[in-house]
């Protein structure tokens, strides 16, 4: 048995909250298998305050059953002394952290424990997408400052896709971690997003016969409208499909993401308000988790629509895992690796990013072929249960926690800082040699300057003489004899052409 301290985010899936939050779901995906394996776990979570029904919570909440669990507000979580005290008190054999800020806090700890960093999405690609929405690059350095500390301190890393794996390897190289000591060392593993462990409970008829007719075709969106969401294409496709088939309805259980993207959702709402099909859009906003999940069981298809950007290409889709676990058919852009895998397995409907006409046709087709759509949802759930469970996806982490170890270059690597100092020293020597060379050439340089000065003086004297001659000639042209002479020449020229 290993003592494991995990840094992550809540809300966790079993907590009564108003949000389905991908960061909390990822935290539980890594925690639950370690608890099932019998390890002693201390879980320390950064709290998302707006997710909880009770807003005025204590800065630090500690629970000791069935495992040691801390829920901290932002100020408390980002206080290195408090995190250090929790670590010192628990005295773990290793650290596991997921999501950027918890990984950064783990990297800042002074006591060196074997450290597994789960980079849940590529930070710089997410920063790029946020900068594009905000039209402001001010956050880029903050993201990189956290990411580079994690890259410098982690002993082993995980990510959500194969493309992100190679991006992390690139960052490791840029920070000097691909060195003589780590040649052949397996730094990075892929841990795909997983489907929820707990089966969905159908609590009540939330939709059919109340807000939509029983034979309506319901397209579901759940979760936040983040920087990657292409709501313009989504709106054009839905409006076109609704005009063709008024039985098509759109149901949204989600909204803006405070502090991350507070633009995209409200832009989508503006599009809907000005539409002749606005009554077909049912915008619920954020709902308690269990209520939101009830809609999975009444919708006909879950839709995910991405921009074709790096954040999506390197990332994954937690909401799709939720839908898979519920047996809800999936319609998604074909951008991220997880969707491409589901498409190859024949358990996901896809369309090209930015293709509103293609998406419109796809929705209309699905509304007319409901049984085929339903069967694909069942196939998707069966595939996910076998391949995307918590235990299956976290096999690399579980193996490492059984025997945690430091990276081979910890305490050994020179790092680019010392190499930089060496390069600076070399450049200083080169500059000194250049100064000596210039000093030795001083007599020749002075002689050349003297010659150049003499030539400049001669040229200036010649220019001055030319100016004098030009002035004399100009005065002569103005005299009476020259004017008479010039007139006679013109008369002679006319007579003898």
- The answer, yes or no, to whether residue 488 has pLDDT greater than 80, is no
Question: 380-401: per-residue pLDDT in tens?
Answer: 999 999 999 999 999 999 999 9
Residue 460's pLDDT is 82
pLDDT tens per residue across span 359-381? 999 999 999 999 999 999 999 99
Segment 290-319 shows an average pLDDT of 92
Shortest CA distance to 397 belongs to which of 46, 32, 65?
32
Q: Tell me the pLDDT band of 268, cut-offs 50, 70 and 90.
A: very high
Taken as a whole, the chain contains a residue count of: 497
Instruction: Tell me what pLDDT residue 148 has.
Output: 95
Q: 423 pLDDT exceeds 60?
A: no
Residue 121 has φ and ψ, to the nearest 5°, of 95, 150
**pLDDT at 493 (0 to 100):** 64
For 89-93, 254-258, 287-291, which range has the lowest pLDDT when averaged over its residues? 287-291
Q: In this predicted model, which residue has the larger pLDDT, 434 or 35?
A: 35
pLDDT at 184 (0 to 100): 96
DSSP characters for 224-290? ---TTB-HHHHHHHHHHHHHH-TTEEEEEE---BTTTBSSHHHHHHHHHHT-TTGGGEEE--S--HH
Question: How is residue 411 annotated by DSSP?
Answer: T
CATH of domain 3-194+396-402: 3.40.50.2000
Confidence at residue 260, expressed as pLDDT on a 0 to 100 scale: 81
**pLDDT the model gives residue 305:** 96
Report pLDDT for 429. 65
- How far CA 113 is from CA of 88, 93, 153, 307, 491, in Å, comes to 11, 7, 10, 39, 109
Q: Give the CATH number of domain 217-388.
A: 3.40.50.2000
Pair type for strands 40-46 and 3-9: parallel
* Tens digit of each residue's pLDDT (9 = 90 or more) over 73-111: 999 999 999 999 999 999 999 999 999 999 999 999 987
Tens of pLDDT, residues 424-483: 556 666 666 665 555 566 677 777 777 788 777 877 887 777 777 767 766 766 677 766
CA diameter of the chain: 125
Residue 326, token pair as written in the block: 């519920």
- pLDDT (0 to 100) of residue 188: 98
Angle (nearest 5°) at CA 363 between 385 and 228: 70
3-state DSSP call for residue 101? helix
Please tell me which residue, 89 or 51, carries the higher pLDDT value.
89
Q: Measure the CA–CA gap between 347 and 30, rounded to whole angstroms.
A: 25
Distance CA 120, CA 316 (A): 9
Report the pLDDT value the prediction gives residue 253, as an integer from 0 to 100: 92
- In the predicted structure, residue 203 carries a pLDDT above the cut 60: no
Residue 156's pLDDT is 98
Alpha helices in 245-348 (DSSP H): 264-273, 289-294, 310-314, 318-326, 337-344
Q: What mean pLDDT is reported for the chain?
A: 88
Q: Detail the DSSP E strand segments found in 23-75.
A: 40-46, 60-63, 68-72
- The per-residue pLDDT for 202 is 58
Indicate if the pLDDT at residue 350 is higher than 70.
yes
Which pTM value belongs to this model? 0.80
Which among 149, 148, 145, 151 has a CA at the least distance from the CA of 187? 151
Report helix, strand or coil for 331: strand
Average pLDDT value for residue range 30-50: 93
CA 46 to chain centroid? 19
Q: Is the pLDDT of residue 58 over 70?
A: yes
- Please report which confidence band the pLDDT of residue 495 belongs to, taking 50, 70 and 90 as the band edges: low
Tokens of 362: 């796809």
């Amino acid at each position: 048995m290993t003592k494991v301290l995990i840094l992550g985010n809540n809300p966790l899936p079993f907590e009564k909250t108003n949000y389905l939050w991908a960061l909390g779901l990822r935290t539980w995906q890594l925690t639950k298998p370690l608890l099932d394996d019998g390890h002693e776990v201390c879980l320390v979570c950064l709290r998302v305050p707006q997710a909880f029904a009770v807003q005025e919570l204590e800065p630090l909440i500690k629970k000791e059953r069935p495992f040691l669990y801390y829920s901290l507000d932002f100020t408390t979580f980002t206080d290195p002394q408090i995190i250090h005290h929790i670590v010192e008190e628990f005295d773990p054999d290793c650290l596991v952290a997921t999501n950027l800020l918890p990984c950064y806090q783990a990297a800042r700890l002074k006591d060196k424990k074997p450290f597994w960093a789960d980079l849940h999405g590529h930070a710089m690609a997410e920063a790029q997408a946020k900068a594009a929405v905000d039209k402001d690059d001010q956050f880029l350095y903050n993201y990189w400052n956290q990411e580079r500390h994690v890259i410098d301190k982690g002993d082993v890393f995980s990510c959500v896709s194969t493309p992100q794996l190679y991006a992390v390897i690139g960052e490791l190289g840029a920070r000097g971690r691909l060195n003589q000591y780590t040649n052949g060392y397996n730094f990075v593993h892929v841990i795909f997003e997983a489907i929820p462990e707990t089966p969905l409970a159908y609590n009540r008829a939330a939709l059919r016969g109340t807000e939509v007719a029983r034979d309506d075709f319901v397209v579901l969106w759940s979760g936040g409208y983040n920087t990657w969401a292409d709501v313009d294409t989504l709106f054009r496709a839905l409006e076109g499909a609704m005009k063709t088939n008024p039985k098509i309805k759109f149901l949204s259980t989600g909204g803006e993401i405070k502090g991350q993207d507070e633009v995209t959702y409200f832009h989508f709402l503006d599009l809907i308000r000005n539409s002749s099909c606005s009554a077909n859009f049912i915008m619920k906003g954020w709902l308690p988790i269990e209520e939101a999940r009830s809609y999975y069981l009444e919708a006909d298809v879950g839709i995910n629509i991405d921009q074709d950007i790096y954040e999506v290409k390197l990332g994954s889709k937690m909401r799709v895992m939720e839908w898979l676990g519920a047996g809800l058919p999936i319609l998604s852009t074909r951008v991220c690796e997880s969707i491409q895998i589901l498409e190859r397995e024949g358990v996901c409907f896809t369309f090209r990013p930015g293709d509103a006409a293609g998406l419109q046709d796809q929705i209309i087709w699905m509304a007319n072929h409901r049984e085929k759509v339903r069967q694909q949802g069942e196939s998707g759930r069966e595939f996910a249960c076998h391949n995307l469970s918590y235990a299956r996806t976290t096999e690399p982490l579980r193996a490492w926690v059984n025997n945690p170890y430091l990276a081979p270059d910890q305490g050994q690597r020179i790092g680019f800082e010392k190499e930089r100092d060496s390069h600076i020293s070399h450049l200083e020597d080169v500059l000194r040699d250049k100064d000596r060379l210039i000093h030795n050439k001083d007599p020749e340089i002075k002689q050349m300057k003297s010659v150049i000065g003499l030539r400049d003086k001669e040229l200036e004297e010649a220019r001055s003489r030319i100016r004098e001659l030009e002035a004399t000639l100009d005065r002569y042209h103005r005299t009476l004899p020259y004017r008479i002479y010039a007139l006679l020449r013109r008369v002679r020229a006319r007579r003898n052409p």
